[in-house]
A = this chain, B = another copy of it.
Amino acid sequence: MSYWKYFKENDIIDVVAPGYPSQPQDVEGSRDFLLRWKLQPRIPKGLIKPHFLHANDDEQRFKFLKAAIEAKDSHVIWCLRGGYGSNRLVPMLAKLKKPKEPKLLIGLSDITSLHTFVTQEWGWTSLHAPILDRFGRNLIAPKHEKEMHDILFGQTNQIEFKKIKPLNEAARKVRNLKSKITGGNLTVLQSTMGTPWQIDTRKSLLFVEDIGERGYRIDRMFEQFRQAGLFKQCHGLILGDFVGGEEPATKKNNFKQVFKRWAQDLDIPMFQGLESGHAMIQRPVPFNTSCVLNVEAGKGHLIIQTGGRK
């Protein structure tokens, strides 16, 4: 297991924008937020340029990401925003030599492409956690800002999830399951399928979340994962938040029925209740660190190591 370095005051934080652009005021808000934490934001000039789809063209987005990865004076890459664009950078990343020192990558949603790459190809641990401009826009409640601060500055070395709900018999039987978490945004994970960077779920708990995907689309992705063998040798499936995705006819989503069928059909444990994804509360989920899952009296309890050290 690789470790990332706990934050210290005056640390440089490399800010990148591999997906959609952030608005100028949100970039400034992000800068102010990092300064408030007594960190040195490094937000390169020209990071965001007008583009029909991304925060900048592929070459520029990659140039800034590469510089952040290779900078010798920083240990952190915090993504400004999700959106779409990171997966286009993966073939370019794959041409880089594996860095000597691991860094901490922070982000979610579109950033799932990068998490999958750095954990699988470079063996990094990483942090599925709010994108920087969410802090910059003051969308994080003080309690959760504190949790994030405690994790990053090393006030704690683990994160507890106490609201994990077992959805099938295999899940209700789980005792002291030692594993690691992989996953992220379901739709972004789907876009790794069949590529050299396909999500590897072996000996892992697969965590997925999504926004705006209807039940049948979630079902289709799960079916694809099943056909591709992703639920074999996988320790379990954990649902994060699924938001949006209403059926046009009923204005309600049909997730409950979709998940219920999967809980019945899968022979691996299936859970829900990881407070992470696109909902209001977006708790940090460390990827590729050790974790332990227990179920007692029908309640799941997950403890994940942050992967940080001094």
Chain A residues engaging chain B, CB cutoff 8 angstroms: 52-53, 83-84, 87-88, 90-91, 190-198, 215-217, 219-221, 223-224, 227-228, 254, 257-258
Q: Does B257 lie within 8 Å of A52, measured CB to CB? A: yes
Query: Pick the contact of A52 from B52, B196, B254 — CB < 8 Å?
Result: B254
Q: Does B254 lie within 8 Å of A53, measured CB to CB? A: yes
A284 to B196, CA, bound (A): 35
Q: List 28 A-B contacts (CB under 8 A).
A: A52-B254, A52-B257, A53-B215, A53-B254, A53-B257, A84-B220, A87-B223, A87-B224, A87-B227, A88-B223, A91-B227, A190-B190, A190-B191, A190-B193, A191-B220, A191-B221, A191-B223, A191-B224, A193-B193, A193-B194, A193-B195, A193-B228, A194-B194, A194-B198, A194-B228, A195-B228, A196-B227, A197-B227
Q: Does B257 lie within 8 Å of A87, measured CB to CB? A: no
Which single residue of chain B is at the shortest CB-CB distance from A256?
B52
Q: How many subunits of this chain does the assembly comprise?
A: 2
A228 to B87, CA, bound (A): 12
Query: Pick the contact of A194 from B84, B91, B224 — CB < 8 Å?
Result: B224
Contact partners of A258 in chain B: CB under 8 A:
53
Contact partners of A190 in chain B: CB under 8 A:
190-191, 193
Q: How far is the CB of A58 from chain B (nearest CB, A)?
A: 9
A257 to B51, CA, bound (A): 10
